[in-house]
Homo-oligomer: A and B are copies of this chain.
């Protein structure tokens, strides 16, 4: 079995009401890899410039993240994003985006990745995501796709083509509404399921996440936190915990996806406690288990029916 992760590896500069980061390591692929590698070895597909620190690559290798599929363009620069969060931490403005190496990224799937059973397509141009699917000779057991409103605005046709080939779509609530044209999230999920994926996960940030499949729905809360320090990467971290647990257990039932979502939520609750990937690097299995038991406490109740 193998888990392949596709996603950006980047530099971020973040401002929040609580502080300002230097230029730090970010990118959807980075967050997913840090998180999923707690559960299963990762085969990474991405692209970085010559300015990306070797120590960062080594740290991922030490975590059992295979970087054979990560292109290093020595003479170019890594993707850079800077943004500023508003007081409510739910909305942000992009200050600057430098596509750099991501501008003409052509992913190449190494031969050693052809055993891919679980494919996590982090947020990237839908054509890049599709290219990876098409390079795999055998269809993976599960393909999970994350995307964002930006692609709905500039590449909806590509997005729909890719969507038709995936099993699970992850989007946030406003993206689900935009993609489906329906305000009701229940109906939005039904509409999206007709576009391809049998499972739809709608992320609602501090309000938790919903998993839809056929007529079933599962709700996972977000842990109520005293402080959200930096929300950057929370959605990618969620995706990493989700796919990591599924790849480890190799069980893609609705029931096991519920567990995977709780694990993703627990990981995301760590991610937001510090800038960037810092907190994800610090936590141990014991920390995660303790937080998982907080989730059990959070939603556990008894109802005597009849």
Please report A residues at the B interface, Cβ cutoff 8 Å.
87-88, 183-187, 204, 207-208, 210, 216-221, 224-227, 255, 258-259, 261-263, 289, 292-293, 295-303, 305-306
Return 10 A-B CB contacts under 8 Å, by A number.
A186-B224, A207-B208, A208-B208, A210-B224, A255-B302, A259-B302, A289-B305, A292-B303, A295-B303, A299-B299
B88 touches A183 (CB 8 A): yes
Contacts of A185 in B (CB 8 A): 224
Set B225, B262, B301, B305: member contacting A301, Cβ < 8 A: B262
Contacts of A297 in B (CB 8 A): 216, 218
B183 touches A87 (CB 8 A): yes
B296 touches A303 (CB 8 A): yes
**Cβ distance A128 to chain B, nearest Cβ, rounded Å:** 32
A219 touches B217 (CB 8 A): no
Secondary structure of the A contact surface, majority rule:
mixed
A184 touches B219 (CB 8 A): no
A295 vs B305: C-alpha distance when bound (angstroms): 12
Contacts of A225 in B (CB 8 A): 184, 186
Contacts of A305 in B (CB 8 A): 289, 292-293
Closest B residue, CB atoms, query A184: B226
A298 touches B217 (CB 8 A): yes
With A219-B298, A261-B301, A292-B303 already in contact, 19 other A-B pairs whose C-beta atoms are closer than 8 Å: A87-B183, A184-B227, A204-B207, A207-B208, A208-B208, A208-B221, A216-B297, A217-B298, A218-B301, A220-B299, A220-B301, A221-B299, A258-B301, A258-B302, A259-B301, A259-B302, A263-B303, A289-B306, A293-B305
Closest B residue, CB atoms, query A306: B289
- A303-B208 in contact given A184-B227, A186-B226 (Cβ < 8 Å): no
**Cβ distance A35 to chain B, nearest Cβ, rounded Å:** 17
A293 vs B303: C-alpha distance when bound (angstroms): 8
A218 touches B186 (CB 8 A): no
A297 vs B299: C-alpha distance when bound (angstroms): 12
Q: Which are the 8 A-B pairs with shortest beta-carbon distances? A: A207-B207, A258-B301, A219-B221, A186-B226, A299-B299, A289-B305, A186-B224, A219-B298
Interface centre among A220, A299, A302 (most CB of B within 10 A): A299
**Cβ distance A134 to chain B, nearest Cβ, rounded Å:** 35
